[in-house]
Structure 1
């Protein structure tokens, strides 16, 4: 008989709807205003602190819903934004000496849903409130660092090839290599040209060779600086558990950072302004550090200080830079002492191997280098950065190191965790400065959500009324499919890790509400046409769905392709709109072709029907 549902269709519809409904549920529970307490530089948050925080809140007569320990942070849940502000001020006064206190919004998802990894949709800055930063990469520093790396490579390569040189130094936009013998210069030029094809070489005179970057190489250096900084900024924010940020490139030198839900710009600035890098250098044991303190510093060394202000004399030559670190984690050695295990990329492993093979048993220092703004600007109206260096660790080289090694001699497990976090977060390729900062309040975000929901509801009601009046019983089926379609969109948006709902995304949902019935309209009009041609109700339903399928598919595929193009070339709001548009197209096709047909077959299929209410 016509219009009978096979078992697999029932199973498919029930499974899809169950999964989408399950993952859409967390969006019904909303969010709590919260104050977040995170580990500081000297102290670690632990579950034992819950009692102290609760007692402190009660003593200040501040009502709270709960105090939880999650993801190595304490979360104080509160009833409203006013109480949140009071709690933040109180907890900041009580705990900020050792911990980081910040305001946030925390999902109120039940534990049983969290156990299934179900979470509410991530809302964009315009819906949830939060902080927007526009950051600019210091390209002069990026190019300067590329020159330094290339100089180090030239020195290493020429020594390995036994090509003796007098000096390698930067002179403006060139690297100059001076020799004592013209023949050695000629041999070095032949060798370097074959190994550095992205550089231009020329002879300044008979004993000096000049090298410069090609235009393509300069563009590559600048592009890499922006991309690497984007990766590291995202890693820093994620590692510290602040939020799931939107970090993306804007133009050739700028980076957009959006932190939805974060209301404390001080904390965000502290994380993003940590423009720092790491160097590994040998400790100078041949000269007396006391002479260096008194001003007699050897030309090949430099004077640094550790966290306690103790002077340490280090070699100027850098063994390895932090940009080569790809992973780091803290653990304990066989004696129970804390250590940090480090993994390097292939180039870094080769550098470390060459640098340590002749220095086994000697102390190696990890130097933390930070670039702080002086507040002054140069002739191009860009901030001038000042370099600050601090020795954070000194360890003895136990063996020739390669792609993996460990740092020992660390005082405690907390220091090991902090060091591994810093190493994992990475070193910025070049200093960055915040050129624009905007804060979107949670009340404005809530107003946008309210207006967006009103647009969706009014649009849904209008479409439901039209379909019910115009197509009667079949219109009711279409309306059921439309409601199911909305549930599926919300469920799928909640399932996708990187999907974020923005105000343009809500506009995409409103558009989808209107477009979702297009397929049903095509099917229902085809059924009417089949009835006018004299077919029976069962035949009309069967041919109506089958013959309309190709038209529905063609129309939706073209729109879906347009959505893919918007997602590929667009940024920010455009991406948000394209995501909801593409998901809405896919779900509307499923509900119109599969769900509505299953309902229609359940009601009219296999029965003696004289006429259809359509």
Structure 2
């Protein structure tokens, strides 16, 4: 029989629509603006005392607090409005001091029964939700110095193996200087090092009774290292953000040595700030002997807070650049550890050094280049954030080398599983080729995001109203079917975005408005075809059947070409362009279902199987 669906098809349509309503429903529950509190160091946590200090400071400032709670990630302070949230940040930061990180956050309010089903609201982009904008500067001179320090260790090893006597090796202002007592030793060293390190420019000089061999980068090598440092840091930051699960972040280069990072709608912005801001790296050093009084020794403190120190050779065995993989686990005593895998070059260097150092102690040194911020009152009486960059260097572990080490080993001596997991994350994501510093931290306020949402929703509502009125006036009852399908299309679109954790941006709202027009466009083609068949004298049932079947090919071709364009936009675009492509792609898919399948189901229920019934179209 024409224009009748089997029962299973109706049930399938109802099931899809029910799931769509279920997963779109959480979008009716807006997130609470909040402050996320955490500590600068992974070894310490936010406690009840810190939470009470923050609450007292807010009470004195007459800022209303909706709720305060301790979570596994730290402390959370909820507010009734974005304005209270922004006003509270400098007050809480000043009250807690420099050892705490105070970050803007949005806490979900989705009911537990919906959350247990995996349902949650669609993520909002930086322009709608607000978020954090970081401008980071790459310290390229430090990258050059770090490369010279590694080369220094390798050069000294070569000179020792070739029995070429030297007195000292110094690095100053981008120049590596090796001091010799004899001119013959300098000549031998220059010939040998030129073969091993052709990327340097060599020159010799004589001062007093000493001869110096200076090695510096060529302009081409310098530019290559600086470019590599920026690109490596860019890749590393992207990997770190991806490890955090941030939805559609923006991490891109700006200028010659700066990187922009934008984090929209992050659930734990404090953790993100700590991970991104921590330019962590590892260095492996041998412990200096007690009778070693040379200048090539540094005294470092252990990171466990015990106050213990150790004297280490400045020569670096390997750095975190050689780490190919890192995972956190527990040792046989239940203590946290990090399992390290090295690349081939790092494994060979580790094996070479430890083969000759069995019985000596080797230290794992953890290095962080960080920035500390505090709020001070400026001349205008307003709280202003002041930043200061600093570096921390501490010993994680100091263990005796029992046997020659290779590509795989483990780091112990960590204080907590949280510290081991974060260290593994940082090493797994890749070591930074150069330190980075926060130049700017700008917050896209929730109030601006709310205004964008209001304007975007208004435009969508106006577009929806105009389209629905047109369909009702022009196509009557069939226009009503199209309007119901259009409303369900928007529901399914939001449900898909929620299920896929896609990010909704302001251009994405424009994509939704465009989808509305495309959704009814399919119905317009179908209804116009039905009108033509009726005008040609076909009975109503055959006209409906022919209208849907013959219009399908045209609708499919038009939508598939648009979908291909949307996919290309998503593949090559960034930021706002991707947001537009996501909603357009999903909207095309859902509109094909609602405009054809759902609309026909409605027509079949009303007109299917009824002879000579007049069509209101």
Match of 2:513 among 510, 513, 516: 510
Q: Tell me the equivalent position of 1:293.
A: none
Change beyond 3 A, Cα 1:306–1:59: closer
> Which of 452, 456, 466 is the matching residue for 1:452?
456
Offset at residue 546 of structure 1 (A): 1.8
CA-to-partner distance for each residue in 1:384-437, whole Å, 9 max, x for gaps?
998764434433334433333222345666765665565456532112344554
CA displacement 1:241-277 (0-9 Å, x = unmatched): 9x65723223564422113357999997766443443
Partner of 1:403: 407
Q: Per-residue CA shift, 1:292-343, capped at 9, x if unaligned?
A: xxxxx52544444445676532222212211333554555433344444334
Whole-angstrom distance in 2 between the partners of 1:179 and 1:515? 82
Determine if contact 2:36/2:270 at 8 Å carries over to the other structure: no
Change (3 A) 1:170 1:108: same
Q: Residue 563 in 1 paired to residue 588 in 2?
A: no
Moved more, 227-236 or 457-466: 227-236
Is contact 1:509–1:584 with CA below 8 Å preserved after alignment? yes
Whole-angstrom CA distance in 2 between matches of 1:221 and 1:424: 22
Q: Classify the secondary structure of the residue corresponding to 1:558.
A: helix
Structure-1 residue corresponding to 2:544: 541
Q: Which residue of 2 aligns with 1:32?
A: 32
Displacement after TM superposition at 1:96 (Å) = 5.1
User: Hey, what does 1:577 align to over in structure 2?
Assistant: 580
Query: 1:320 is paired with a residue of what secondary structure?
Result: coil
- What aligned pairs does 1:198-277 form with structure 2 within 5 A after superposition? 224-234=228-238, 246-250=249-253, 253-261=257-265, 272-277=276-281
CA offset at residue 111 of structure 1? 1.2
Alpha-carbon distance in 2 for matches of 1:12, 1:256:
46
Alignment partner for residue 442 of structure 1, among 443, 446, 465? 446
Q: Using the TM superposition, give the Cα deviation of residue 449 of structure 1 relative to its aligned residue in structure 2, in angstroms.
A: 0.5
How big is the alpha-carbon RMSD for the aligned residues of Structure 1 and Structure 2? 4.6
Q: 1:564 to 1:112 in 2, by over 3 A?
A: same
Residue of structure 2 equivalent to 1:612:
615
Partner in structure 2 of residue 18 of structure 1: 18
Structure-2 separation of matches of 1:310 and 1:166: 35
| Number of equivalenced pairs | 584
2:490 aligned with 1:486:
yes
Q: 1:384 to 1:146 in 2, by over 3 A?
A: farther
- Give the Cα–Cα distance (whole angstroms) in 1 for the partners of residues 56 and 188 of structure 2: 82
User: Structure 1 residue 27: deviation in Å?
Assistant: 0.9
Partner secondary structure for residue 119 of structure 2: coil
Cα distance change of structure 1 residues 418 and 532 upon mapping to structure 2, 3 Å threshold: closer
Matches of 1:533 and 1:394 in 2, distance apart? 91
Partner of 1:294: none
Q: How does 1:381-396 map to 2 (within 5 A)?
A: 389-396=393-400
Residue of structure 1 aligned with 2:288, choices 261, 284, 290: 284
Q: Paired residue for 1:315, among 313, 318, 331?
A: 313
Tell me, in whole angstroms, the C-alpha distance in 2 between the residues paired with 1:350 and 1:509.
56
Q: Tell me the CA shift for residue 15 of structure 1.
A: 3.8
C-alpha distance in structure 1 between counterparts of 2:319 and 2:328, whole Å:
19
CA contact (8 A) 1:395 1:409 kept: no
2:114 alignment partner in structure 1: 113
Q: Which moved more, 1:147-156 or 1:507-516?
A: 147-156
For 1:546 and 1:587, locate their aligned partners in 2 and report how far apart those are by CA, in whole Å.
19
- Tell me how far 1:452 sits from its aligned partner: 0.5
Structure 1 alignment gaps of length 5 or more: 289-296, 375-382
Q: What is the CA-CA distance between 1:463 and the residue it aligns to?
A: 0.3
Answer with 343-352 or 60-69: which moved more. 60-69
Equivalent residues of 2:38, 2:101 under 8 A apart = yes
| Structure 1 residue aligned with 2:333 | 335
C-alpha distance after superposition, 1:343-394 (max 9, x if no partner)? 44444344333333333342222223345789xxxxxxxx999876443443
Residue 552 to residue 57, structure 1, CA distance change in 2 (3 Å): same
Q: Distance in 2 between matches of 1:282 and 1:181?
A: 27
Q: 1:226 to 1:533 in 2, by over 3 A?
A: farther
Conserved 8 A contact 1:45-1:74: no
Q: Which residue of 2 aligns with 1:379?
A: none
| Contact kept? 1:509, 1:581, Cα under 8 Å | yes
- The Cα shift of 1:105 comes to 1.4
Q: Residues 116, 334 of structure 1: CA spacing in aligned structure 2 closer, same or farther, 3 A cutoff?
A: same
Match of 1:126 in 2: 127
